[in-house]
Amino acid sequence: MKNLIFINGTMGVGKTATSKELQKMLPNCVFLDGDWCWDMSPFIITTETKKMVVDNISYILNNFILCSEYENVIFCWVMHEQAIFNDVLSRLKKDDCTLYKFSLVCSEQSLIARITKDIKEGVRKKDVIERSVPRLKNYFEMDTEKIDVSEISAKETAEIIYKYIIH
C-alpha cells in the first residue's frame, strides 16, 4: 500500500514548506505542488484553465501512484472548497493507497504575519492577503484532519503529519 498524502490550506499557510520537510522524512517519496501545474504568466483563471490544472494534477498524481518506486506521494494545493478536493480525488487510481487528508489552519494574525514576511522577501504580492484571509474559514469545515500551524514551523508540522502516517 502506498501513502497518498493531501495537504491543503489557504495561500501562505505553509503547505509547500511543510510538504518539502515531510518529503525529507518519508522513504521513497515524491511531491507535487498543485501550483506547479499552472505556473503561467499572466495568471488566468477561467473554466478552461481550471479544468486544465485539475487534468494536469490528476495525470501526474496517477503516474506517481502507478510507479512502483514510490511508497509515499505528497500533494499540496490550496483546494479551498470540498468540491475541488473531491474532484481531484475522484480522478485518482487510489485503490492501493492509504489516503491521508490534512488542512493546515492558523489564526488570522499568524496568516497575515506569514504572508507579510513573504511579501518582504519578494515571494508573494500584497494582494494575497486580501485573497487568502477570507478563505481561511473554509478549511475548518473540510473533511480533513486539521493542524493548527499558528505557532509551529513547517518542520514541526511535517513531524505531526509523519506521526499520523507511521502510527
Alpha carbon distance 17, 1 (integer Å): 26
Alpha carbon distance 56, 70 (integer Å): 19
Q: What would the grid cell of residue 160 be?
A: 505531526
> What is the pairing mode between strands 29-33 and 145-148?
unpaired
> What is the reported pTM?
0.95
Q: What is the residue-averaged pLDDT of the chain?
A: 96
Q: Is the pLDDT of residue 136 over 90?
A: yes
| Single-letter amino acid code for the residue at 128 | V
| pLDDT tier, 150 (very low <50, low <70, confident <90, very high otherwise) | very high
What pLDDT is stored for residue 131 in this prediction? 93
Comparing CA positions, the residue from 151, 147, 150 lying closest to residue 160 is: 147
